[in-house]
Amino acid sequence: MNLLICDDEKTILEGMVAITSEFKEWPLTVFAAMSSEEAIRIIQTKSLDAAIFDIDIDERSGIDLAKFYRNCNPEGLVVFITSYASYAIDAFQVEAVKYLIKPVQSYKFYEILNFLKNKIEEQTFIENHMFKTVAIKVNGKQTLIKQSDIIYIEKAGKKSTFHTVNGRYEGRESIKGIYESLSKDMFLKCHQGYIVNIDHIYKLERYIVYIGDQKIPIPVSKANVEQVQEAIKRRIWGE
Q: What's the sign of the alpha-carbon dihedral 174, 177, 181, 184?
A: positive
> Please, what CATH class does the domain formed by 134-237 belong to?
mainly beta
For the whole model, what pTM was predicted?
0.58
Q: Please give the pLDDT value at position 91.
A: 47
> For residue 21, how many C-alpha atoms fall within 13 Å in the half-sphere facing its CB?
7
Written as one letter, the residue type at 78 is: V
Instruction: Please give the residue that has the higher pLDDT: either 190 or 91.
Output: 190
Give residue limits of the domains in the chain. 2-129, 134-237
Report the run of H or E that residue 119 belongs to, with start and end: helix 106-125
Q: List, for residues 136-190, the tens digit of each pLDDT value.
A: 888 878 888 989 899 999 998 888 999 999 999 998 888 888 998 898 888 999 9
Q: List, for residues 179-203, the tens digit of each pLDDT value.
A: 988 988 889 999 999 999 998 988 8
Q: Does residue 235 register a pLDDT over 80?
A: no
* 2-129: in CATH 3.40.50.2300: yes
pLDDT band at 89 (very low <50, low <70, confident <90, very high): very low
> For residue 238, how many C-alpha atoms fall within 13 Å in the half-sphere facing its CB?
1
Q: Does residue 65 register a pLDDT over 70?
A: yes
Beta bridge partners of 165: none
CB atoms within 10 A of CB 55: 24
